[in-house]
Structure 1
């Protein structure tokens, strides 16, 4: 910007011309700022869409040829057999070879240090993450072989 401060008399035409250009420059600056802001928002939207495209689809809600009995689970025995879990295909394992049995009718609290895998174990029980190896059996049925709706409708959790 150029500011002129002449001595003495300033013609009204020069004042009007200066104000006219000042308002036009301000309007152009507002237009450019809005345009750049909109462009930035659109680029971010495209990036999010690209991220969503690469999210793997969940397994089917119902597997017609492998539905559990309507009375399942009748006892509530949970067997975890050597499960290994990683959050991404090339990521390191977060659970390594976990094997345990929760007997029917028992109440279990899973405790441990931060980052020890408590939430991951519960997430695997609801198939929020899929084991890369091993099995989880509830009353003898492998939960990875049934549909998500059949599984999740029969389980409940009380978080922390």
Structure 2
């Protein structure tokens, strides 16, 4: 019985130490850029064309790691559907993460309709872009949560759009 109590106590202690280690890791994670900037406000209809330009884009996940995207320069014309395809590890997900600024570019620029996305707030950027995921499920949650995922509109506005 004593042995069982000691083992249980050691397991509880180890679990609590792991919790402390995680908290210390979370504390050391750099803070994201601000949600909005006090500089120039974006036009209400931005992005209107949807053109995306990548200029000499270099992205890596940490300063000590190698680049995942190296010197990528391409223009995706606006108003067109664009699919990104490639084998595992080719940088498709990294490109999307850079576009939404989940991972910041180390070198280069990403321009959406001529605006450098690194100069605007995260909410301004992320609330105006969307992607179609590779998930075979069309919708998750309620119809309302799919039409207004940021809960920015009232029910009358939602019904007007549906009409």
Is the Cα–Cα contact under 8 Å of residues 75 and 105 in structure 1 kept in the other structure? yes
User: Counterpart of 1:64 in 2: which secondary structure?
Assistant: coil
Q: 1:79 aligns with which of 53, 57, 69?
A: 53
Structure-to-structure mapping, 1:4-153, within 5 angstroms: 26=1, 28-153=2-127
Once residues 92 and 67 of structure 1 are traced to their aligned partners in structure 2, the CA distance between those partners, rounded to angstroms, is: 35
Spell out, residue by residue over 1:9-36, the C-alpha distance to the aligned partner (whole angstroms, 9 max, x if none): xxxxxxxxxxxxxxxxx2x223212211
Unaligned segments of structure 2, at least 5 residues? 135-163
Q: Which residue of 1 aligns with 2:155?
A: none
The TM-score with structure 1 as length reference comes to 0.80
How many correspondences in the alignment? 134
Larger Rg: 1
Query: After TM superposition, where is structure 1 displaced by more than 4 Å over at least 4 residues in a row?
Result: none
Alignment RMSD: 1.0
| Aligned CA distance change for structure 1 residues 90 and 67 (closer, same or farther; 3 Å) | farther
Unaligned segments of structure 1, at least 5 residues? 1-25
The TM-score with structure 2 as length reference comes to 0.79
Once residues 111 and 41 of structure 1 are traced to their aligned partners in structure 2, the CA distance between those partners, rounded to angstroms, is: 41
